[in-house]
Chain A
């Protein structure tokens, strides 16, 4: 399955509800997303409503088309601002928003990526009017004070330590994007650089809010057990008088072609080194996306895949290894990642990974591999149909980033249409040596064992 963004930062993340891959996929699938009703208010706010009365819960999502790649002077602002959306408004004290949702039996969260900021709520159906009222309240009356910003900066710095600074995988990811993108605003981390987070001002937040949190930059998706007409009416009344922006600033920057291998090393006190490699790939919505998905699946989908067999099982040099095509709104990355066994050489893992990439360019994949990969993608894709939250996420993403809902049938057909020539063609087009970016996270060269006794 394709990654939809490189790095998702939830405001609040320790209930990791990893749904085990729920499956399905078949011609006779009822794609409920096609029943979505799309309405645009006069001020440009897009509202997506999709009724499904199976269970008495509803998902409400507010998608803002702003992410770290829209940041102009202060990195990490989109994400820090997302936190500030929970810090109170004219009629709601700090933290109260989340508490009210919880006290009605709901859960709420938010996340920021390089391209978007998303506020999500799942709640028993009868509380939907409350959710709409609360979202409208913070859009209309957000209150950002020096005091709450000061403490939230510290919260975000703790988040940065947890996700990035003290985590080998986080260090690898940050270095990889900084290396791969030299011009595009994807080069800095979503969470931002430490010094920027520490120096963000109330004024920065207010400017950001008035520039990007405007109705013509927002998509609301409501999915589940509710009355579409009544909800739409309430959204119209609550959000309808927000003023649109005449213009929303965007970067015009293009990434110049890469003309040579780039390498970076990060030294970190660890035992299992991390290898991360990236190539430039096309952005979201590009017709080569499906071929890249299938190529990635052939490389690393399941235990019968090429990379698992070779690096993990046969050679016993990696603990895990995988590839993924990640689509961003304005660019793409085909990335490969490996956790190197403490007793193995990272250079050898890199060499064998590259051999497998070269094989994709040089030899056609087998019919059997092709079929298997397509099936795996199809089954995973239809997994999206199982919860209101997931369906709201799908339609919200599609409309926010692509401007339309991609019918599942079209996506499945595009996957089915990929053939061995396509795989070879995209491998030759994108996975080229001169466009490679390589990061090694390794222990410092003279790593000495710390020998501290009891205190």
Chain B
């Protein structure tokens, strides 16, 4: 407290004397305060159980507001689906929302809307999640809806036909979106033939083959309690809730845990390849550079995240933001990231620029990746990335829902339960030498796939000497 007041007084003084040439460094030139180390999760509010059928239960109490969030997450997702049936996990999730237990599609939607609740079922690469948010006083109704959807979905034939039609139309619409095309063809460039080479939502060919029976079979295979986590946060009593969870999910029979899917191919690509996705109408080209990355559980993931943040990441401070946006005015945004999945994942750098400048920008991206290998972040730059990561971590767990999301994610990947509490010390422990090693191991600009979405007639001539070019239609 007195420290705050002293600091505040100092600033007033500093601004007064700034014109006369300051004697002390201004506040922004002083070193950041040390990173706080208090526990992230209040152990007295966090409760973990396991039912006899193997269902994990995580409850985080937070009584500040009369609201609750409940859900079921599976430790498997779209990666468990073979490429020929890509889109099946998302299709199944969609059908689960369209009728369960005694309620048909409209009755289920009406029940949810009448509570003012938000409800969703979604499939990611490594998990499938059903979740509902609402008021504490509606807890029983919400739990009933969740149990119906997870245990007793109807998979009505007519709804399946409608849902498939909607998904196919949505896939067609998605090609209007340059960002979608960029991601879709980047995945194709890295993982052709594998499930990961197709979008989460599948392709028109694979989705056209899906039906109610396929979804029912997939649901039965995937939704086993020993592969699932029940999670809840908010204004609830963990003991009481556990009883209700036992009543709702205790009779759910355990089953075989489905395969998590094959690891992603790596290294990929083994040589430079360039895909130009032809959209003659666009005035701005989307550009992605990509190759293999690391998995969600890779022991180097925190050091890799610091390296990534320094190169591009998702903030203001990165080398690429400075070079491509601030210095050159060639883009509004440039980012990079490792997509951390169970079976591996990609490393990608993505940006966009006016079509005439595609080559200039690609050269800047390649140069900065090369430079990251030669001059990896160290010293003050690395220190700032640590502070950035730690701070973003703190801001990312401001609500108990967010804390619980993180805990569930750790559980999905079998990572240590105390990972949130140890995060800051683990970030602090990363050395410059580790980051330098990873820059050499993980960055491969010379063979990265380059995907550009835009008018091929303008773009292709700029790229002639960069590598073999394929022009594809969206």
What is A's interface to B at a CB cutoff of 8 Å? 12-15, 20-26, 28-30, 54-57, 86, 91-92, 94-96, 98-100, 102-108, 122-124, 126-127, 129-130, 132-134, 136-137, 140, 150-159, 161-162, 165-168, 226-227, 230-231, 233-234, 237-238, 268-272, 301-305, 309, 312-313, 316, 319, 339, 341-343, 368, 371-372, 375-380, 382, 385-388, 450, 452-455
Contacts and interface: CB of A to CB of B under 8 A. Distances in A.
A407 B394 CA distance: 29
Given A129-B4, A134-B28, A269-B279, A105 B390 contact: yes
B241 to A, nearest CB: 17
Given A23-B118, A94-B326, A122-B395, A269 B281 contact: yes
B357 to A, nearest CB: 9
B20 interface: no
A24 B15 contact: no
Interface string B111-125: 011111110100000
Interface residues of B, number: 98
Interface in B42-95: 64-67, 69
Contacts of A159: 332
B315 interface: yes
A102 B387 contact: yes
B131 interface: yes
B217 interface: no
Contact of A155 (B7, B314, B325, B457): B325
Contacts of A162: 284, 332-333, 352
Nearest to A317: B169
22 contacts: A14-B314, A21-B133, A22-B69, A26-B135, A29-B65, A56-B36, A99-B384, A102-B387, A106-B391, A106-B395, A107-B315, A107-B391, A129-B7, A129-B11, A129-B27, A133-B27, A271-B173, A304-B113, A319-B166, A319-B173, A382-B65, A455-B469
Contacts, number: 285
Interface in B270-290: 276, 278-284
A104 B316 contact: no
Contacts of A21: 118, 133
B114 A161 contact: no
B116 to A, nearest CB: 3
A51 B7 CA distance: 19
Contacts of A156: 332
A28 B176 CA distance: 47
A153 B354 CA distance: 13
A35 B35 CA distance: 30
B333 A14 contact: yes
A454 B471 contact: yes
Interface in B163-178: 165-166, 169-170, 172-173, 175-178
A220 to B, nearest CB: 15
B106 A304 contact: yes
B284 A165 contact: yes
A454 B470 contact: yes
Nearest to A106: B391
A370 to B, nearest CB: 12
A379 B333 contact: no
Nearest to A371: B114
A342 B4 contact: no
A51 to B, nearest CB: 13
Contact of A91 (B26, B67, B135, B281): B26
Contact of B460 (A54, A270, A341, A455): A455
